[in-house]
Amino acid sequence: MTTNTSFGDKEMLADALSTQKFVTGNYSIFATECATPKIRSDILTILSEEHQIQNELFCEMQSRGWYPTPGAEMQKVNDAKSKFQTM
């Protein structure tokens, strides 16, 4: 029995995006736990760069129709606004 183990563009981009989400999550944790301002600054710079990479991957997938983002219902938008305005 043979299985198809090759990844196409969609699978490779999805894997890269998933990895970036993991990486940015960890850098965010590292930034909050830094013992010195210099290290924290360096980690935040790296985090910003990783977020940029993540956004580029997301935009590429979205432009190809591989990461659809449906619009929110207006009632849900208004509910969220109300919720956060009262905080």
For the chain, the average pLDDT equals 92
User: What is the predicted pLDDT for the residue at 87?
Assistant: 82
Task: Give residue 7's pLDDT.
Answer: 85
For the chain, domain boundaries: 9-85
| CA-wise closest residue to 61 among 10, 6, 7 | 10
Asked whether the beta carbons of 43 and 31 are under 8 A apart, the reply is yes
| Cα angle: 51, vertex 73, 71; to 5 degrees | 40
Buried b / exposed e over 37-70, threshold 16 CB at 10 Å, is eeeeeebeeebeebeeebeebbeebeeeeebeee
Give per-residue pLDDT as tens, 48-87: 999 999 999 999 999 999 999 988 899 989 998 999 998 8
pLDDT at residue 8, as a whole number: 94
pTM: 0.75
pLDDT the model gives residue 6: 83
